Amino acid sequence: MIAIAKSLAENPTVAVAAERAVVADKGRQIGLLGGTFNPIHIGHLIVAEQVLIKLHLDEIWFIPTNIPPLKDAPTVSVQDRTNMLELATQDNPHFQVKLFELQRGGVSYTVDTLRYLRKTQPANHYYLIMGSDQVNALGKWKEPTQLAQMATLVGVQRAGYPQQAPLPMIWVDVPAVELSSTAIRQAIASGGSIRYLVPAAVCNYIQKKGLYHD
């Protein structure tokens, strides 16, 4: 799957064709977990696994953003972020990395992604997963009421953020892991250890590529 990221950088049509191959699949219960994943860490994986099991979903799709609308752009390349996602999810057959937003380019709006999925794979039922910090910021999202019409909203509690959902939402209890990609990047830049904070394969990739040291 890492080859897909390389193909995306060299020839986007290859990745586009790969994504379109799933259009004919029968309807499934799909959880959508978006983000910059800069880098992906164990907190993301714990959330995905807990939501998958507790809501009896078929798959969780990890969707890396191209340009996030509400935060700074990622500090590493599209290929590096995608490679790390592939490495982190490769041992779980229920986890899939989807490149919809990278293929579309520009600013990544979730509502545009859901419209694309509802058009190309309408038989699926989608569950949009977000932390309570994202829930509280829903008013800043593009067309937030449309999100609830196209997907079931799933909230995951984060410490310091009350459960104040402006739209109908399912809340899923997940073991508290207070970890962020920002904290991981800061630890790397200061010479700290990220062992056990990210999957071993991701840790090795970061060290091999020398990411986040600037």
The answer to the question of residue 10 being in a domain is: no
The answer to the question of residue 71 being in a domain is: yes
The answer to the question of residue 154 being in a domain is: yes
The answer to the question of residue 89 being in a domain is: yes
The answer to the question of residue 14 being in a domain is: no
The answer to the question of residue 43 being in a domain is: yes
Q: What is the pLDDT of residue 159?
A: 63
Domain harbouring 72, CATH code: 3.40.50.620
Question: How many structural domains are present in the chain?
Answer: 1
pLDDT band, very low/low/confident/very high, at 151 (cuts 50, 70, 90): very high
**pTM to 2 decimal places:** 0.85
pLDDT tens, position by position, 97-109: 999 999 999 999 9
The fraction of the chain above a pLDDT of 90, given in percent, is: 69
Determine the structural domain holding residue 77 and report its residue range.
28-176
Judge whether 172 and 51 are in contact, CB under 8 Å. Answer: yes
Residue 55 sits at the vertex; the CA angle it makes with 42 and 101, to the nearest 5 degrees, is 60
Judge whether 177 and 43 are in contact, CB under 8 Å. Answer: yes
The answer to the question of residue 6 being in a domain is: no
Using CA atoms, how far apart are residues 95 and 44, in angstroms rounded to an integer? 11
Lowest-pLDDT choice from 118-132, 135-149, 156-170: 156-170
Tally of CA atoms within 13 A in the half-sphere of 111 that contains its CB:
12
Q: What is the pLDDT of residue 161?
A: 64
Burial 168-184 (b: 16+ CB within 10 A, else e): ebeebebeebebebeeb
The answer to the question of residue 55 being in a domain is: yes
